[in-house]
Amino acid sequence: MSLDTLRRRLAIPKTSIQLCLLGIAAGLIAAVLIILFRLSIHFFQGLYLTAADNFSSLSEADRVVLPVMAALFIAVFADMTGFKHYRLGIPFVIHRIKHHYGQMPIWNTANQFFGGAVALICGFSVGREGPSVHLGATGASILAERMHLPLNAARTLGGCGVAAGIAASFNTPLAAVIFVMEVVLREYKVHIFVPIMLVAVTGALLTQNVFGTDSELALITINPLSGWHYPFLVLCGAALGAVAFAFNQNLMLIIRTFKSINMFPRLLLAGLIAGGIGYLVPEAMGSGMSAITQALQSPDDIQLLTTILIAKLLATLFAIGLGIPGGLIGPVIGLGVVMGTLMSFFGQWISPGVDVSGTYGVLGMAGLLAATLHAPLAALTAVMELTSSPQIIVPAMLVISTAYVTALQVFGNRSIFLQQLDFQGLPYQVSPATEALQKVGIMAEMEEDFKLLYSDDKEQIKDTLGAVNSQTPLIVYDELNGYRLAEYDLSLTGEGSVSISYIPLQGLSNQATLADAFDILKDKRSGAVYVYNRKDKQQIMGILRWDQLRNIITHRQTLL
């Protein structure tokens, strides 16, 4: 199959072997980038830590100095790009997929790779999933751009890159698929779902071969809960929803408060705060594994766990709020496990002699994750995959539902990603018509039976119009007026005379979607656009009229 045939096939919004194979290729590229990212973290942490994320093994002075040095490096690297490429992580990826078909700027990715790696190596309380999602989307974007694929296919591959990033970060391929559909794309379409599912498997398998199959929660023991726990779980869910609201509100408060401060002093302040917290509570450093380990080892030490919870909460809020590159899912998982373990202290009274701390820890993670991200289904599937325990499903559904509804209806909480996008002024919403049209490449609907005439001679244009079929469009070109659509003007045709009207045509690349044509024609509700070959703008491939777009919007939208 030629590349041109492949591009035409991908312009059609249907499940195809070609799109699935390209998705797998995008997943491979994304997984390689993410594996390199994680290996760099493991390598450098291995030089001075006894175990990954175990910063308590460092001296007090080192715990202060490391975050400050990391902040300086991140600031200097960002300064090298003029701070123009410092919009990073999952919110930025959501914006690029919704409004730029998943096309990712390379310098933003460079900031994300190096800045995110240094932040995690040196103990900032951020997650690796933010950089992983960003890197995964970039890998897919590079493949789509190199092959000049239609932008509707590039958008799907962008979702594939996000799925690979989540699956490679947490070894949760099913949760990765749900996360993409629920948080990033916010829609369910079969022709998008299938390649994303394959990519999630690809990302998970590759990272399993390098890092093994164990997850962060593999050491947690899950014991089934009796029905007597369920009323208390409702209260736990409500508490988790309230905490999620408070977390999101305080994070946005920090972001708004320090908005006017330049990036360099802001990052340095983040380093100083992280160093101070690390000096006092080393278990609060890192992505969250250290906090989870303490919750497993000392589930009855309420004072220690409360201290870790408060310190971890502050470390996460200030690190992300002040601009340290990294994700928040990892720290939220750690916070949720600690909160759940604290709640298990009361749960022990319900089932004396049964260790329920691990079960409550996982439920705390699920509830906090669902309410913070507004992703209840992704949180549920993540719990199922991370624990491999069917006993957790029913109580997790109860806690997640309660936490989500409490945060949403009682407190009016919104997804933290969408709040960040609103603050940055990055659009993420599109109209239903535009969203439907984005899924179809312009090559799938353009009219290829047309006549092209390079002349502005009116008599020659009249003769050509008379010679072609009345249904065949005539495109004329001259240096002064560019490309125009020539047709008989019946309203001005008098007896014995023929008038010709000209409709100016704006060109679109063959990579464009119907949404791009809609943006050009929607104001006048008339006219047409011509489609040219991206590699050769002089090669006209087809024409698309407003009438065709209107028919698709009004009669075929359900098919898209």
Q: How crowded is residue 84: how many other Cβ atoms within 10 Å of its Cβ?
A: 11
**Secondary structure (3-state) at 446:** coil
The confidence band for 86, taking pLDDT boundaries of 50, 70 and 90, is low
Query: Is 364 part of a structural domain of the chain?
Result: yes
Give the single-character DSSP code of 513. Answer: B
**Rounded CA separation 32/327 (Å):** 19
**Rounded CA separation 176/162 (Å):** 8
Helix locations, 171-189, DSSP H: 173-179
**Rounded CA separation 518/320 (Å):** 38
Does 25 share its domain with 109?
yes
Query: Is 85 part of a structural domain of the chain?
Result: yes
Residue written as token pair 């984005």? 438
| Contact partners, residue 201, CB within 8 Å, separation at least 6 | 167, 173
The confidence band for 215, taking pLDDT boundaries of 50, 70 and 90, is confident
Helix (H) or strand (E) holding 475: strand 474-478
> Residue 134 maps to which CATH number?
1.10.3080.10
Question: What is the arithmetic mean of pLDDT over 279-286?
Answer: 94
**Secondary structure (3-state) at 528:** strand
The token pair that represents 430 in the structure block: 């599109």
The token pair that represents 180 in the structure block: 């993409």
Query: Is 435 part of a structural domain of the chain?
Result: no
Residue among 315, 317, 313, 291 at smallest CA distance from 304: 291
**Rounded CA separation 149/144 (Å):** 5
The token pair that represents 15 in the structure block: 């499940």
Last residue of a domain, one of 384, 403, 429: 429
% of the chain exceeding 90 in pLDDT: 57
Helices and strands (H and E) in the chain: how many = 22, 7
The confidence band for 133, taking pLDDT boundaries of 50, 70 and 90, is very high
pLDDT digits (tens, 9 = 90+) for 538-555: 889 999 999 888 888 887
| pLDDT of 557 over the 80 cut | no
| pLDDT of 460 over the 90 cut | no
The b-or-e profile of 87-115 (16+ CB within 10 A means b, else e) is: bbbbbbbbbbbbbebbbbbeebbbbbbbb
Q: What's residue 441's pLDDT? A: 93
| Most confidently modeled range among 263-277, 433-447, 538-552 | 263-277
Does 278 share its domain with 156?
yes
| Contact partners, residue 186, CB within 8 Å, separation at least 6 | none
| pLDDT of 135 over the 70 cut | yes
Query: Is 295 part of a structural domain of the chain?
Result: yes
The confidence band for 44, taking pLDDT boundaries of 50, 70 and 90, is very high
Helix (H) or strand (E) holding 543: strand 536-545
**Rounded CA separation 504/525 (Å):** 14
Count the domains in the chain. 2
Does 52 share its domain with 146?
yes
Q: Residue 471 belongs to what domain range?
A: 442-559
**Secondary structure (3-state) at 104:** coil
- Asked whether 497 and 506 are in contact (CB, 8 A), the reply is no
- Asked whether 87 and 425 are in contact (CB, 8 A), the reply is no
As a residue count, the chain comes to 560
Question: What is the arithmetic mean of pLDDT over 484-502?
Answer: 71
Does 181 share its domain with 227?
yes
Partnered with residue 540 across adjacent β-strands are 532
Amino acid of residue 145: E
pLDDT digits (tens, 9 = 90+) for 468-479: 777 788 888 888
Question: What is the arithmetic mean of pLDDT over 219-224?
Answer: 84
Q: What's residue 151's pLDDT? A: 94
Q: What's residue 393's pLDDT? A: 92
Question: What is the arithmetic mean of pLDDT over 184-206?
Answer: 88
The values of phi and psi at residue 528, to 5°, are: -160, 165
Tell me the C-alpha to C-alpha distance, in Å, between residue 323 and each of 111, 265, 497, 513, 560.
12, 11, 70, 35, 39
**Rounded CA separation 144/173 (Å):** 22
**Secondary structure (3-state) at 508:** strand
**Rounded CA separation 445/447 (Å):** 7
Does 118 share its domain with 172?
yes
**Rounded CA separation 259/253 (Å):** 10
| pLDDT of 494 over the 70 cut | no
| Contact partners, residue 8, CB within 8 Å, separation at least 6 | 441, 443, 444
Query: Is 436 part of a structural domain of the chain?
Result: no
Pairing of strands 528-533, 506-509: parallel
Does 449 share its domain with 379?
no
Mean pLDDT of the chain: 89
Residue written as token pair 């004072």? 303
Question: What is the arithmetic mean of pLDDT over 262-280?
Answer: 94
Amino acid of residue 136: G
Q: What's residue 416's pLDDT? A: 93
250: buried, middle or exposed (CB in 10 Å: 19+, 13-18, 0-12)? middle
**Rounded CA separation 191/550 (Å):** 23
Query: Is 243 part of a structural domain of the chain?
Result: yes
pLDDT digits (tens, 9 = 90+) for 309-352: 999 999 999 999 999 999 999 999 999 999 999 999 988 888 88
- Asked whether 268 and 72 are in contact (CB, 8 A), the reply is yes
How many Å separate Cα 172 from the centre of its chain?
16
Does 360 share its domain with 263?
yes
Does 212 share its domain with 120?
yes
| pLDDT of 500 over the 70 cut | yes
| pLDDT of 201 over the 60 cut | yes
Does 369 share its domain with 518?
no
| pLDDT of 495 over the 60 cut | no
Does 35 share its domain with 60?
yes
**Rounded CA separation 552/445 (Å):** 10
Question: What is the arithmetic mean of pLDDT over 354-378?
Answer: 93
Does 375 share its domain with 501?
no
50: buried, middle or exposed (CB in 10 Å: 19+, 13-18, 0-12)? exposed
Residue among 62, 34, 119, 121 at smallest CA distance from 323: 119
> Residue 476 maps to which CATH number?
3.10.580
Last residue of a domain, one of 395, 429, 463: 429
Order across the sheet with 536-545: list the strands: 506-509, 528-533, 536-545
Q: What's residue 353's pLDDT? A: 79
Query: Is 434 part of a structural domain of the chain?
Result: no
For every residue of 260-275, DSSP letters joined together read TS-HHHHHHHHHHHHH
| pLDDT of 239 over the 90 cut | yes
The token pair that represents 445 in the structure block: 């609907």
Tell me the C-alpha to C-alpha distance, in Å, between residue 413 and each of 86, 127, 244, 321.
26, 22, 8, 18
Query: Is 437 part of a structural domain of the chain?
Result: no
Does 371 share its domain with 490?
no
**Rounded CA separation 227/546 (Å):** 61
Last residue of a domain, one of 373, 395, 429: 429
| Most confidently modeled range among 256-265, 330-339, 551-560 | 330-339
Q: What's residue 419's pLDDT? A: 93
Q: How crowded is residue 355: how many other Cβ atoms within 10 Å of its Cβ?
A: 12
Q: Which of 26-30, 82-86, 156-160 has the lowest mean pLDDT?
A: 82-86
**Secondary structure (3-state) at 66:** helix
The confidence band for 490, taking pLDDT boundaries of 50, 70 and 90, is low
**Rounded CA separation 443/528 (Å):** 14
Q: Which of 163-177, 238-252, 403-417 has the lowest mean pLDDT?
A: 163-177
